[in-house]
Structure 1
Amino acid sequence: MESDFGTDTGTGTDAGTDTDVVVAGGGPVGLMLACELRLGGARVVLVERRTDVDPTIKAGSINTPTAEAFHRRGMLPAIAEVQQRALEQFRNFMRDRPGGPPAGGPPRTPPKFAAHFGGIMLDGALLDESDPDFAHAGPASEVGLVPQQDIERLLAERAARLGVELLHGVELTGFDAGDEGVEVRTAPVGGGPDRRIRAHWLVGCDGGRSTVRKLAGFAFPGTDPSITGHQAVVTMTGAEALKTGWNHTDTGTYVHGPVPGRVLTVEFDGPPADREAPVTAEELQKSLRHVTGSADVTVTGVHTATRFTDNARQASDYRSGRVLLAGDAAHVHSPFGGQGLNLGIGDAVNLGWKLAAVVRGGAPEGLLDSYTAERHPIGAWVLRWTRAQIALMRPDPASRALRGVVGDLTATTTGTTYFVKKVSGVWQRYDLPGAHPLVGRSAPDLELADGRRLADLMHDGRALLLDLVGDAGVAAVADGYGDRVRVVTAAGPAGAAPAALLVRPDGCTAWAVDADGDRERALRELAGALTRWFGSPGPAGA
């Protein structure tokens, strides 16, 4: 059903709209997107049915692209502080375990790289850290163990500071989308007067059961669930019978740790009968006893718990007219490998600046086509990656044999390095025009001669044209882009580095040239990259 938005210009400045963008869903993805939109100059209303941070146990770590995104927005110190608290929890858990360090002894440190593939732990001592894909993240490479709840809290505080209109305790109940905009219907959870919000765009960041996706009619193909998984933080007796880490048995898989009371179980005999029912202590206890085969564990209390499956689906397109999807609304999969949060944050930083540019009139609407083109292949890879882990974890003889083979591979430097590169996300790149090897990849966090880093120049969410050799021609090509592109001339680091590079607001390198490159050709390519991503020079919208 279409709504009548007349001859709206789409710039967000007319009196016929309440806001430029409505974001449905206030988890980390929706909050990150809202922040990126505000940095780009768009008015944003975020609708979230919850009134506080979701306490349900979820992701406990972030990958390199996510850490880089936070670093480029000045959030790394706060993220590092959260990680320090998480590491202390780990040390306390290991200290209190049977066989832990003696009282007064040195605390046990966490593993160098706490990642796994299908429950096969990756040994950081085997990682080839000289691999060039690990060389460019800078301080962002030092954070990883960060719980999702803390990320949501930090992003909510940031969104409020940036001026996002946050509507908590409110749910989206429907919408009418037309060629010129969207009229969103909302209602307070628990009753109260409805509200209609007229916007130019609607983005569904409302999770795997997305109301926006369903009402908009997005195709959502994929594979049906075959497992029942639980993750929880509990109090229990008999915990000394549980081994720490990942454990595979004849009846399933379980994990104990790395924080006190945290357990995870996976049973391979079909999906749960009722995915929505509350997770009880009895259910968790039964699952723990089943998958361990012998542990006499009694769950006496549940602090937080969730039930999950391996349902794996992905929207065929992330945009339908004025409605877009991001995060779990666009793709769902099992949680193994911790890819979900990271995939969603990547969606948000990719979409945010593009949608804001379209709202402001600084870019044609066709720029949004690059969102699906760039993010869909990475989402498809995550689905394949998680499906492979399910196949590897099954307790049947064939899967056990396969796990042995993969275990042999991960016990080598080459194998560990391959899996770590995949899990950490450093392999990710977009297929962009340009011959330089940096094009399409995350920009290296170069340390400049004055002590600043590239990420320090991107806190405001603008594109960055960084000239490291003082070539006046580089800045001249960007003349006329105003606040769409920040031009910085600075002495670069010693040693090999590009002479200049153009970095999109999401941190992706859009153009680069080396000191010994063809200057005239490079400047022509720079002009093309600026036009492709930021429109024509002159006033935005001209």
Structure 2
Amino acid sequence: MPRDTARDVIVVGAGPVGLMLAGELGLRGVDVVVYERLLAPARESRGASFTQRTAECFDQRGLLGSLGATEPADSHFGGVPIDLSTLAEDHYGHRGISQFRTERMLEEWVTGLGVPILRGHEVTGFEEDADGVVVALHGPDGATGATARYLVGCDGGRSSVRKLAGIDFPGTPGGRGFLTADVTGIETRKRRIGENLPGGSMIMAMDLENGVTRVVVHEAGTAPRDRDSLTFTDLADAWQRLTGESLHHGECRWISCFTDASRAAAAYRSGRVFLAGDSAHIQPPAMAQGLSVGVQDAVNLGWKLAATVRGTAPEGLLDTYHAERHPVGEQLARNARAAIELRLTGEDMDPVRSLMTELVAHRDAAEHLAGMLSNLGVRYDLGKGDHPLLGLRMPPGRELDLPDGTRARVADLLRTGRGLLVTTDGAPVPAAAGLTDRVDVVTGTWVTAPEPALDAVLVRPDGYVAWTSPGSVDELTEALARWFGTGEQPAQQP
């Protein structure tokens, strides 16, 4: 069996998650290749929006602007609206963006970094040893193979990599069926967060681009459908039964179905094999979370895997991927189950809906719930301290006046893919002297003084605050060593 040149990392899947991970690795000089089962990029757009935190991830790599104009997306939990206008931070998501457009943006970034994307290749097996992973593939020319130090499955909810790795996928199987389609030539009232109907049915309609409307139908009592036998007439008939309105004259660009299955992998890592995105967690697309949480998986894993490949990672860095992202996946699965029950149980759930509506009228409750849905509320254990930013993402719009008279946002300063240490006193930082290949030290003055004070802050490459002064109990030297190693080049990590 012919075998491709050995690589540092093999990524399986060229969807948004696999492409984001490949870009994060390529940005740092890692020898990475992407294998994709499909012969050409998919034209359908399963995802049509992403959260505010995912927009920030794109922004801190200089990618957000290339997506063009987006619309702000309102927030809701199980159909209960959340008033985001009362919150101190911008929690609005971005909607109306076809997944195809997001993938095209990411593919241009990845190929521009010199990362090859090999299409028409399906993983059929792999073997792991002390030095790496040997992957068996079936490609356009038949059986082939590839070797790498690490393998990452970004190949969707039916992940071959996850199954071959023997990683359990516990959760709730799908019991409810949903139909969804992209349609042109129709005019229907927009129901962007969905509309509950009597008996537990639900419909949704939102604008995409170029006159396309995304419609979703759940008819109470309807079991999951077989995608291969589904027709647009099935969806249009269900829509008419529920609304009295006909969509039959519309032109269907794409149609699919999904269920309310919600699962999270038992482990995000097994030896040299990792999972990210839908390979690691699935939930109903109506939650509008899957693409976003998957992209954030990739941003979390990318810099850690790159540091390990380059031999600069401190001991245990790769283990923090599962430790940090698995709880997010489990919370996502739990929230999806709760939101679906709240939305689709029918009139018996009305008292709970009324209570939820009262609760989210309180700013603290709204902020907590919005933080889960926007992903701005994700907090990692990044050390002891009392600064409110510690463990959260650094707001990327925070601006600094630099000594050369220019002004820069935190997002701009993170585009190198390295860590960022911001100081405001201009004094030398001996602790970071040997880490210039991993951490950028920037001196400046905050344009708007933070409350509480932030004289210095260490931001990881994924944008999360690992240390503050004042606030952190650990010394800066300890925080730098924990996340970036020491100035001495350590031995290559296994």
1:183 paired to 2:131: no
Q: Distance in 1 between matches of 2:314 and 2:369?
A: 39
Who is 2:344 aligned against? Answer: 394
1:114 alignment partner, one of 74, 78, 98:
74
One-letter identity of the residue aligned with 1:129:
L
What SS does the corresponding residue of 1:206 show, helix, strand or coil? coil
Structure 2 unpaired stretches of 5+: none
Closer/same/farther in 2, CA of residues 469 and 243 from structure 1, 3 Å limit: closer
Q: Distance in 1 between matches of 2:489 and 2:137?
A: 36
8 Å contact from structure 1 (residues 19, 199) kept in 2: yes
One-letter identity of the residue aligned with 1:247:
E
Who is 2:301 aligned against? Answer: 351
1:46 alignment partner, one of 28, 31, 34:
34
Cα displacement string for residues 447-502 of structure 1 (whole angstroms, at most 9, x for unaligned residues):
11131111111111011111122122xx2011112301122222333423411111
Closer/same/farther in 2, CA of residues 73 and 325 from structure 1, 3 Å limit: same
1:452 paired to 2:401: no
The two structures have a TM-score, normalised by structure 2, of: 0.89
Q: Distance in 1 between matches of 2:83 and 2:465?
A: 31
Q: Distance in 2 between matches of 1:47 and 1:370?
A: 26
8 Å contact from structure 1 (residues 463, 485) kept in 2: yes
Question: In proportion to residue count, which structure has more strand?
Answer: 2
Who is 1:102 aligned against? Answer: none
Q: Distance in 2 between matches of 1:17 and 1:535?
A: 30
Cα displacement string for residues 18-63 of structure 1 (whole angstroms, at most 9, x for unaligned residues):
1000000000000000011112221101001223332223222221
1:61 paired to 2:44: no
One-letter identity of the residue aligned with 1:483:
D
1:9-408 to 2 correspondences below 5 Å:
18-79=6-67, 81-83=68-70, 87=71, 113-124=73-84, 127-130=85-88, 134=89, 145-188=96-139, 191-235=140-184, 244-245=191-192, 246-251=194-199, 252-259=201-208, 260-269=212-221, 271-274=223-226, 276-277=227-228, 279-292=230-243, 294-364=244-314, 366-408=316-358
One-letter identity of the residue aligned with 1:150:
R
Who is 1:439 aligned against? Answer: 390
Q: Distance in 2 between matches of 1:175 and 1:355?
A: 20
Q: Distance in 2 between matches of 1:459 and 1:326?
A: 22
Alpha-carbon distance, 1:277 to partner: 1.4
Alpha-carbon distance, 1:311 to partner: 0.8
8 Å contact from structure 1 (residues 22, 201) kept in 2: yes
Q: Distance in 2 between matches of 1:20 and 1:219?
A: 26
What SS does the corresponding residue of 1:479 show, helix, strand or coil? helix
Cα displacement string for residues 357-377 of structure 1 (whole angstroms, at most 9, x for unaligned residues):
111111146211100100011
Closer/same/farther in 2, CA of residues 500 and 364 from structure 1, 3 Å limit: closer
1:503 paired to 2:455: no
Q: Distance in 2 between matches of 1:121 and 1:503?
A: 33
Bigger Cα Rg: 1
What SS does the corresponding residue of 1:357 show, helix, strand or coil? helix
One-letter identity of the residue aligned with 1:277:
D
Closer/same/farther in 2, CA of residues 437 and 471 from structure 1, 3 Å limit: farther
Closer/same/farther in 2, CA of residues 184 and 365 from structure 1, 3 Å limit: farther
2:440 alignment partner, one of 448, 472, 486:
486
Closer/same/farther in 2, CA of residues 142 and 335 from structure 1, 3 Å limit: closer
Q: Distance in 2 between matches of 1:414 and 1:340?
A: 25
Structure 1 unpaired stretches of 5+: 1-14, 88-111
Q: Quick check: 455-464 or 345-354, which moved more?
A: 455-464
Q: Distance in 2 between matches of 1:129 and 1:418?
A: 10
8 Å contact from structure 2 (residues 11, 32) kept in 1: yes
Q: Distance in 2 between matches of 1:65 and 1:262?
A: 23
8 Å contact from structure 1 (residues 51, 169) kept in 2: yes
Cα displacement string for residues 101-156 of structure 1 (whole angstroms, at most 9, x for unaligned residues):
xxxxxxxxxxx6522222233345xx3233xxx17x9xxx7955533221111000
Who is 1:91 aligned against? Answer: none
Closer/same/farther in 2, CA of residues 113 and 210 from structure 1, 3 Å limit: closer
8 Å contact from structure 2 (residues 51, 93) kept in 1: no
2:427 alignment partner, one of 467, 471, 476:
471
Cα displacement string for residues 73-124 of structure 1 (whole angstroms, at most 9, x for unaligned residues):
1113213x142xxx5xxxxxxxxxxxxxxxxxxxxxxxx6522222233345
Alpha-carbon distance, 1:225 to partner: 0.8
What SS does the corresponding residue of 1:201 show, helix, strand or coil? strand
Number of residues of Structure 1 aligned to a counterpart in Structure 2:
477
Percent of pairs with identical residues: 40
The two structures have a TM-score, normalised by structure 1, of: 0.82
Closer/same/farther in 2, CA of residues 181 and 421 from structure 1, 3 Å limit: same
